[in-house]
Chains A and B, each alone.
Chain A
Amino acid sequence: MAQDVETAATLQQRIAKAMTVLVGRVLRSEVAVTEDSLLMEELALSSSLILELLLELEDEFEIQIDVEEMDEDEINTVGDLAEYIANHSIAR
């Protein structure tokens, strides 16, 4: 159990780090992205770009993300999304 928690936390860090690069790629623009960057309010990341980002993350980390529970009202920052993904994905 402790190992599972450890793994999710590590995965979350790796995903957050990857996202700081991948977000710029899906936005097709040079932008400084941190874990605290606001996905919609600062970066103007639309739902379709988030979908593109999720697909990129699934390929890079060889995971499958369960998107059904995603709620934009609760996922505000890059770090929030990384946390969601780390806790709602399975290895494939």
Chain B
Amino acid sequence: MSTTAMSTVTVWTLRTDVAPDVLARCHDLLDDTERTRAAAFVHETDRRRFIVAHGALRLVLGRELGVPARRLAFTSGRHGKPRLTPFAGLHMSLSHCADLAAVATSPAQPVGVDIQQHVRGDVAAMATRFFAPEEARYVVAAPDDDSGVDRFTRLWTRKEAVVKAAGTRLWPNLGMPVHRHDVVQCVAPRGPHRVTDLVAPQGSRLAVALPGAEPYDVRVGAFRWS
């Protein structure tokens, strides 16, 4: 009987409200394209979050590949998903929201990660309008406002993680049910994905997904700058 090694996904979480020296170090790691993108943000806060998230992404990949973080090169694929070029055998996904960020790597398959601070706005109305009916009921039936927000945010991160793993757009997949089962069917393009909720900082949600129905190992850690 042959056995196939289970895929392993590594997910690092971090805060992007870092000390000025860390921010400067991250900025030093970025290439011209990333610096231009950082410079375009209207708000300084968004600039800082972008610089730190992309600096951390480079450090994670550099450590895993044994390559200086500055020397890594990316191309931006469809739907904004970055890809290492040359590929180097490591898939990645980056997500940041407010002062939180997550970096996922996967040697074998594309990966999608999403971290989301509790969504603001009328979550019951948004779920009712845009999610599958059973998911809308799940959000609306929450015992209080905080759990409604947490339920909505959980569903949101699961959908985002799946569409990122699939390398596709969120919008045709908003109605994709993700609340009851971990193997979910992406609508466009069609295909199963396995999504996993991970422990997230309080007031946020974190999910990771890989294509296919097979189970995989997830290693989660707090990113360290040194």
Contact = CB atoms under 8 A, between A and B. Distances in A.
- Determine chain A's interface SS by DSSP, over half rule: loop
Nearest to B153: A48
B43 A55 contact: no
Nearest to A59: B125
Contact of B37 (A29, A31, A41, A69): A41
B126 interface: yes
Contacts of A43: 42
Contact of A42 (B40, B122, B172): B40
A3 interface: no
Contacts of B49: 44
Contacts of A55: 121-122, 125-126, 129-130
Contact of A31 (B43, B78, B122, B130): B43
A73 B129 contact: no
B43 A26 contact: no
Secondary structure type dominating chain B contacts: helix
Contact of B160 (A38, A40, A47, A52): A47
Contacts of B121: 26, 51-52, 55
Given A48-B156, A52-B126, A55-B121, A71 B169 contact: yes
Given A46-B97, A47-B160, A72 B42 contact: no
Contacts of B120: 28, 52
Contacts of B46: 44
B80 interface: yes
Nearest to B152: A48
A70 interface: yes
A73 B78 contact: yes
A58 interface: yes
Interface residues of B, number: 28
A68 interface: yes
Contact of B130 (A38, A67, A69, A72): A67
A51 to B, nearest CB: 6
Given A55-B121, A55-B122, A73-B78, A42 B41 contact: yes
B116 A48 contact: yes
A47 B163 CA distance: 12
Contacts of B170: 47
Interface of B: 37, 40-43, 46, 49-50, 78-80, 97, 116, 119-122, 125-126, 129-130, 156, 160, 169-172, 174
Given A26-B121, A37-B42, 18 more contacts: A41-B37, A41-B41, A42-B40, A42-B42, A43-B42, A44-B41, A47-B160, A47-B170, A48-B119, A51-B126, A52-B119, A52-B120, A55-B121, A55-B122, A55-B130, A58-B129, A72-B79, A73-B79
